[in-house]
Structures are given as structure tokens and as C-alpha cells.
Amino acid sequence: MAHAHESNTKRIWVVLVLLTVITTVEVVLGIIKPASLHLTSILGTSPLNWIFIILTLVKAYYITWAFMHMEAEHKWLRRSVVWTSVFLICYLLTLLLIEGSYLHSVLAPLVKW
């Protein structure tokens, strides 16, 4: 690894600032919950939820790439880890969420509130 002996502290601080800013944005949005984002819906859920999910993935990217040094790993190590987990997690999530909606559509009409 070429980077082995040089210091990456500057990048670490930049990533810290990024993560902090993203978390702050998430929390502020989570507290305010602007009606235009919270009470509308695109692609099955509110835009606010999509913002949270995308920001989470951005954070996950920075943690994995910068803190876990994924960017410095061998290309195929990176792919064997990232592709495997991304594929399996998406697969699992898709199946379970579809199943959850199905359960709701079957059970909800039977529940009397």
C-alpha cells in the first residue's frame, strides 16, 4: 500500500466535518419535519424519508471508504465485500418489505379500531 507511511489526518478531519454536518441536517429535519417534505409522498414514502435514507448512505460511504480505508484496498477485495453485502441486503430488504405490505393489506381490513 503506497499510502502506508504518510499521514491522512487532514482527510480524517474533513470527513468528520462532513459526517457532523450530515447528522446535524438529519436531526434538524427530523425535529422540524417540514410539512411539504413530511406529508407528501414520492415512490412509496415521504421525500423526508428519502432524504434520510440517501444521507445515511452517504455517511455509510464515507465511513467505509475513508475510516475503514476501503479506498486503499485492492479492487477485488473491495468488490467482494461491497458487492456481496449490497446485493444481499437489497435482496433481503425488497422481499421483506413487500411481504410486510402484503401482510398489512391482508390484516388491516380485519382490524376494527
Partner 1 sequence: MEANIAIPTDGKDTWSGGGQKPLGASYGKMMMWFFIVSDALTFSGFLAAYGLTRFKFIDSWPIADEVFTHFPGLHGVHAPMYYVALMTFILIISSVTMVLAVDAGHQMKQKRVAWYMFATIIFGIIFIGSQAWEWKNFINGTYGAVKTTDGRLLQFVKDGHQIALSDIVVGERTDGRIQHERENGLWFEKEEAIASYSIAQIQEAYKSNSDVLIRSELIDPATKQKIILSREEGMAQLAKTKMVVEGANLEVNEYGNTIFADFFFFITGFHGFHVLSGIIINIIIFFNVVLGTYERRGHYEMVEKVGLYWHFVDLVWVFVFTFFYLV
Q: From residue 10, how far is each of 64, 68, 96 by CA, in Å?
A: 17, 15, 41
Q: How far is the CB of 6 from partner 1 (least distance, A)?
A: 8
Residue 21 in the binding site for partner 1 (CB under 8 A): no
Residue 26 in the binding site for partner 1 (CB under 8 A): yes
DSSP string for 44-113? TB-HHHHHHHHHHHHHHHHIIIIIS-GGGS-HHHHHHHHHHHHHHHHHHHHHHHHHHHHHHHHHGGG---
Of 6 and 43, the one with the shorter C-beta distance to partner 1 is 6
- Binding residues for partner 1, per CB under 8 A? 1, 3-9, 12-13, 15-16, 19-20, 23-24, 26-27, 30-31, 38-39, 45, 49, 52-53, 55-56, 59-60, 63-64, 66-69, 73-74, 76-77, 80-81, 84-85, 88-89, 92-93, 96-97, 99-101, 103-104, 107-108, 112-113
